[in-house]
Amino acid sequence: MQNAKLRFVTLYTASVALLVFVINRVFLGTNMQTSLMWTALFAAIAFAMSWRQATQRGL
């Protein structure tokens, strides 16, 4: 069951990172450094949120 939780957390974090990067680069037109900084920030937040949810009791 632990592998399923880790796969969920990894997939969710990667999805959020990709979405934030595309929004920054394509729609907002920011430069690469700014896009990567925002991507790293939101990916870290997404990881923390999904890890906390995946490790709650009863899941």
**Given this model, what pLDDT does residue 32 score?**
96
**Given this model, what pLDDT does residue 19 score?**
97
Cα–Cα dist 12/32, whole Å: 22
pLDDT at 1 over 60: no
**Given this model, what pLDDT does residue 7 score?**
93
pTM of the model as a whole: 0.84
The model's pLDDT over 13-51, given as tens digits with 9 standing for 90+, comes to 999 999 999 999 999 999 999 999 999 999 999 999 999
Mean pLDDT of 1-23: 92
Cα–Cα dist 37/40, whole Å: 5
